Chain A
Amino acid sequence: MADKKLTVARTGNEAMAEAMRQINPDVVAAYPITPATEIAQIFAGFVADGLVDTEFVTVESEHSAMSATIGAAAAGGRCMTATSSQGLMLMAEMLPIASALRLPIVMPEVNRTISAPINIHCDHSDTMFVRDSGWMQVYCEDAQEAYDSVLMGIKIAEKVRLPMIVSTDGFIISHCMANMDLIDDRDVKDYIGKYKPQTWLLNPEKKITIGCLDLQDYYFEHKMVAIDAMRNAKSVIKECCEEFGEKFGRKYGFFDTYKMEDAEVAILAMGSLAGTAKVVVDNMRKTGRKAGLIKMRVFRPFPADELARAVSGLKALAIMDRSDAMSGLEGPLAVETKAALYDSAGKPKIHSYVYGLGGRDVQISEIENVYKDICDFAQAKKKFGENVTYLGVRE
């Protein structure tokens, strides 16, 4: 395996659609929304061209898209959909149903901010809005990672039996073309294997009822099953990432690290910012600053212990959030990372940043200033007035 390397140029959306073609799901139900429209549109082309066997359902809204996907998954199919922003908001009611019914739906998502004001560009507000819906969440830096994560997602979701969102940054990744390696169609087919649900509605041998009324005496126990699945998901993700690395040569984890071995200060970021930050880490290293980067990939389940170990020994950490939790505190990544570090000895000084809301561009110079500021912060040469800085907002 993996000897037939096919290097191509693909946008993030094309890469995710390509993964869906190779997965050949039983059912895809989708509704268009910028900037994720292309994923289902390109996939619909594959259906029309007879390249997949998928039943493609054109629905009247994202609520229906998720409902149809849930119904088809409950019937026993391998099912997918794709969305973004307001579409994900409209799906929100159905998302915890997918997770509580333990349906392994994998959904490519393109991160776009949420209204109001109306805006089609990138930030992570949409997926962060549904972070407690029981879906696993993986944030990707580029088209290659998005493609690989969708393929791995099928395997992980079907083993954990929880749904997964795999997201890219809207336009920055979804619409920009980059070199990437495709895996051979047959190798993907062998890798993901045939889907074998444990129970399914169209099984005449074992008739079941799902989604029934469940009040004070059993709701808690049923919810506990899904909670436990999310707690166990980490070990499955770890195994699947290792297996994927061995088979196809690209290694992934809960997060990826860049020059962290001897780092004294680091940035913790998600999505496309990681690419920019790597350039800045190299620049910082040239000026003698021991800078590193942790790129968070898996936000749900939250890899608290692993993250605590990765940042222990750092003098200072900057946490970059591309959304605000609107809690009066900080961004969600900052809040959860701090919670993860509460019991940890040797935790670094932390300052968090909220950046890039509504697609506001982030320049290399701005990230350089973040590194410089936390270097000074580490050496007690700089104090921040608040725990969080809103980077690049005009006052």
Chain B
Amino acid sequence: MEKRKMGWKELPDADSIEAGTSAEFKTGDWRSQRPVFHGENCIHCLTCWVVCPDAAILVEDGKVVGYDYDHCKGCGICANECPINKAKGKEDISKRPITMEDEKNFKNDI
């Protein structure tokens, strides 16, 4: 059954709604490329956390632990800006903390 929608007299003030509703909007299924985190290569500089437009880098105790795949759109900015990717990854892809992989290889996860 369709959820009943509010009438204009029931609406909250002006067009304001409670904050933080974007968390409910799962944008992870927009992804065609997925960033994959390789912790053993990471220096935890948090550059990816700063540049991620969707706050989808998960950090615990000042260390990157992975991705919030419900909200990561797969833009690849993290992989592009990662200083280790830029330095060591050029010579040896196995040294990259972040690799971009085809989302279709993970489709069962979504």
Tell me whether B6 is interfacial, beta carbon within 8 Å.
yes
Question: At the interface with chain A, which of B14-22, B44-52, B78-86?
Answer: B14-22
Given A209-B21, A228-B8, A222-B13 contact (CB < 8 Å): no
Chain B positions within 8 Å of A199 at CB level? 13-14, 16
Tell me whether B62 is interfacial, beta carbon within 8 Å.
no
Are B6 and A221 within 8 A (Cβ)? yes
Are A218 and B5 within 8 A (Cβ)? yes
Tell me whether B58 is interfacial, beta carbon within 8 Å.
no
Partner of B13, one of A102, A218, A221: A102
Tell me whether B11 is interfacial, beta carbon within 8 Å.
yes
CB distance from B73 to the nearest CB of A (A): 16
Are A102 and B17 within 8 A (Cβ)? no
8 A Cβ contacts from B44-83 to A: none
Are A222 and B5 within 8 A (Cβ)? no
Q: What is the count of residue pairs linking A and B with beta-carbon distances less than 8 angstroms?
A: 55
Chain B positions within 8 Å of A161 at CB level? 14
Chain A: CB-nearest residue to B22: A209
Tell me whether A210 is interfacial, beta carbon within 8 Å.
yes
Given A217-B5, A218-B5, A225-B14 contact (CB < 8 Å): yes
Are B5 and A209 within 8 A (Cβ)? no
Chain B: CB-nearest residue to A224: B8
Report the bound CA distance from A210 to B16 in whole Å. 4
Report the bound CA distance from A254 to B72 in whole Å. 55
Are A210 and B18 within 8 A (Cβ)? no
Are B6 and A208 within 8 A (Cβ)? no
Interface residues of chain A: helix, strand, loop or mixed (majority): loop
Report the bound CA distance from A236 to B21 in whole Å. 35
Chain A positions within 8 Å of B7 at CB level? 221
Are A208 and B5 within 8 A (Cβ)? no
Partner of B15, one of A198, A217, A222, A228: A222
CB distance from B5 to the nearest CB of A (A): 6
Tell me whether A211 is interfacial, beta carbon within 8 Å.
yes
B7, B8, B20: most-surrounded residue (chain A CB, <10 A): B8
Are A209 and B18 within 8 A (Cβ)? yes
Chain B: CB-nearest residue to A218: B5
Given A102-B13, A199-B13, A222-B8 contact (CB < 8 Å): yes
Interface residues of chain B: helix, strand, loop or mixed (majority): loop
Report the bound CA distance from A101 to B15 in whole Å. 6
CB distance from B101 to the nearest CB of A (A): 31
B11, B15, B16, B18: most-surrounded residue (chain A CB, <10 A): B15
Chain A: CB-nearest residue to B25: A213
CB distance from B4 to the nearest CB of A (A): 12
8 A Cβ contacts from B1-35 to A: 5-8, 11, 13-21
Are A208 and B18 within 8 A (Cβ)? yes
Chain A positions within 8 Å of B18 at CB level? 207-209
Chain A positions within 8 Å of B13 at CB level? 102, 198-199
Are B11 and A210 within 8 A (Cβ)? no
Are A208 and B19 within 8 A (Cβ)? yes
8 A Cβ contacts from A212-236 to B: 212, 214, 217-218, 220-222, 224-226, 228
CB distance from A228 to the nearest CB of B (A): 7
CB distance from B9 to the nearest CB of A (A): 8
Chain A positions within 8 Å of B11 at CB level? 218, 221-222, 225
Tell me whether A100 is interfacial, beta carbon within 8 Å.
yes
CB distance from A195 to the nearest CB of B (A): 15
Are B17 and A212 within 8 A (Cβ)? yes
CB distance from B10 to the nearest CB of A (A): 9
Chain B positions within 8 Å of A208 at CB level? 16-19
Chain B: CB-nearest residue to A227: B8
Chain A positions within 8 Å of B6 at CB level? 218, 221
Report the bound CA distance from A226 to B16 in whole Å. 13
Q: Which residues of A contact B (CB under 8 A)?
A: 100-102, 161, 198-199, 207-212, 214, 217-218, 220-222, 224-226, 228
In addition to A221-B6, A222-B11, 16 A-B residue pairs with Cβ atoms within 8 Å of each other are: A101-B14, A101-B16, A102-B14, A199-B14, A209-B18, A209-B21, A210-B14, A210-B16, A210-B17, A211-B15, A212-B15, A212-B17, A212-B21, A218-B5, A221-B8, A225-B15
Give 10 CB contacts A-B under 8 Å. Answer: A101-B15, A198-B13, A207-B20, A208-B18, A209-B16, A209-B17, A211-B15, A212-B17, A214-B15, A222-B8
